[in-house]
């Protein structure tokens, strides 16, 4: 019945119902499911005329039907959501199967499904590179997408969400990125948050056996936290991304192994077809080494005494090949890769030949390799039973 206390206490709703609607008798029945209040149903009379027990029972029956209808609607929505998620998962798996070794379409499919099913404004998939990340796919608003792809590789500032992922946090979910401590501590990060209109932020790591492989990042332009179901769905997509990355790695390793086996077989064929003639063997070895190691040029040196070396083969641009072939038998200068090999090292790897001390002091061969050939990265080695017979060297023109 009408709660007279609410009216006397000046409840605005009760005052309005009585004064504007003429309400006198009120009957309210709760909509409950398993002791959880789901809503109310109320009926009114303008006169003071209490509802009978039958009328009350009828309203209670209607309330029970309303609860059933609400539950059916909830189950239908959940069924549709589950079907949508299962369909999305299946479609991503189809992309993985149809593009073995090609990660870009897989990552784009994952982001597109996350965008559709989780109400994401924009997002990106990043793979780890040391202590930084590289953006491999982005989805959503055109400005955000082009900006993320353009600024592909970066190192996250300290205390930012991605930095925290690098430090091992299992999940980053910020209801309001502008209210997070990192927004105040990292100006560059705050500027990106502001320029991207980012409010709610979710970052789900891609991990395999505890190792961080990458991150799925998603954001909304309004403060609207992701639900547990949405987070679980993105975590499922992250697991699929890990599967795709692992498949690509295994495929790449298989291809590399096959290429190496093929190259070895080809060199053995050259050895068998030219017994006693080392020149074609050295040429074949050097050509395969450059191709399989993605090197720009190289040369192979031989030595009769382990102290003086002669160029037996050279591959690469004509200027550098001519320089190498015209070199007389040479005793290595101190500090050079060859002198280090003579000193006992089995392999010498120089990240940047231009920054090496040997180049800075003007050693002629290193100067020529850098200035004529653009040499930057060097890798060297060739021995039998600890006796130095020569060296095979390959060079890249970038670090």
Q: What is the pLDDT of residues 37-60, one digit of tens each?
A: 888 888 778 778 888 888 888 888
pTM of the predicted model as reported, rounded to 2 decimal places: 0.51
- For the segment 10-43, what is each residue's pLDDT rounded down to a tens digit? 567 666 767 666 677 878 888 888 778 888 888 7
* pLDDT reading at 7 higher than 60: no
Please tell me the CATH code under which domain 4-77 is placed: 3.30.450.40
Give the β-pairing of 377-384 and 348-350: antiparallel
Which residues lie below 8 Å from residue 131, measured CB to CB, with a gap of 6+?
155, 166
* Whole-number Å distance between alpha carbons of 212 and 215: 8
- For the chain, the structural domain boundaries read 4-77, 99-251, 274-396
Q: pLDDT, tens digit, for every residue of 171-227?
A: 999 999 999 988 888 888 888 888 888 999 999 998 888 889 889 898 889 999 998
- Which CATH number fits the domain 99-251, given the four candidates 3.40.50.970, 3.30.450.40, 3.30.1370.160, 3.30.360.10? 3.30.450.40
Per-residue pLDDT reduced to its tens digit, 269-288: 777 777 767 788 788 888 88
* Nearest CA-CA partner of 216 in 236, 193, 186, 190: 236
CATH 3.30.450.40 fits 274-396, yes or no: yes
The answer to whether 99-251 and 274-396 have equal CATH topology is yes
* Inter-residue contact 222 to 195 (CB < 8 Å): no
Angle at alpha carbon of residue 35, lines to 33 and 39, rounded to 5°: 55
């Amino acid at each position: 019945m009408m709660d007279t206390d609410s009216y006397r206490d000046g409840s605005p709703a009760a005052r309005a119902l009585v004064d504007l609607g003429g309400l006198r008798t009120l009957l309210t029945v709760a909509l409950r499911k398993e002791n959880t209040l789901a809503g109310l149903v109320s009926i009114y009379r303008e006169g003071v005329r209490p509802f009978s027990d039958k009328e009350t029972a009828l309203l209670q029956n209607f309330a029970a039907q309303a609860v059933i209808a609400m539950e059916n609607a909830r189950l239908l929505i959940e069924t549709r959501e589950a079907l949508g998620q299962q369909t999305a998962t299946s479609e991503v798996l189809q992309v993985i199967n149809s593009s073995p070794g090609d990660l870009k379409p897989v990552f784009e499919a994952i982001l597109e499904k996350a965008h559709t099913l989780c109400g994401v404004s924009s997002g990106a998939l990043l793979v780890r590179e040391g202590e930084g990340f590289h953006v491999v796919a982005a989805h959503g608003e055109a400005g955000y997408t082009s900006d993320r792809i353009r600024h592909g590789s970066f190192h996250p500032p300290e205390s930012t969400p991605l930095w925290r992922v690098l430090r091992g946090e299992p999940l980053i979910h910020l209801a309001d990125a502008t209210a997070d401590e990192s927004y105040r501590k990292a100006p560059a990060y705050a500027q990106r948050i502001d320029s991207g209109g980012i409010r709610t932020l979710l970052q789900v790591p891609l991990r395999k056996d505890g190792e961080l492989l990458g991150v799925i990042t998603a954001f909304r332009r309004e403060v609207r936290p992701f639900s547990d179901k949405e987070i679980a769905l993105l975590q499922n997509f992250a697991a699929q991304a890990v599967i795709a990355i692992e498949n690509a790695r295994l495929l790449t390793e298989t291809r590399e192994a096959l290429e190496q086996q093929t190259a070895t077989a080809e060199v053995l064929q050259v050895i068998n077809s030219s017994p006693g003639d080392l020149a074609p063997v050295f040429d074949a070895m050097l050509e395969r080494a450059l191709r399989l190691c993605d090197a720009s040029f190289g040369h192979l040196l031989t030595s009769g005494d382990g102290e003086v070396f002669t160029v037996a083969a050279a591959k690469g641009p004509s200027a550098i090949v001519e320089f190498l072939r015209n070199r007389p038998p040479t005793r290595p200068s101190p500090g050079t890769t060859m002198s280090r090999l003579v000193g006992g090292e089995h392999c010498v790897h120089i990240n940047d030949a231009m920054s090496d001390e040997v180049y800075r002091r003007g050693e002629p061969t290193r100067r020529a390799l850098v200035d004529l050939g653009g040499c930057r990265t060097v890798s060297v080695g060739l021995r039998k039973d600890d006796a130095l017979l020569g060296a095979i060297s390959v060079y890249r023109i970038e670090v």
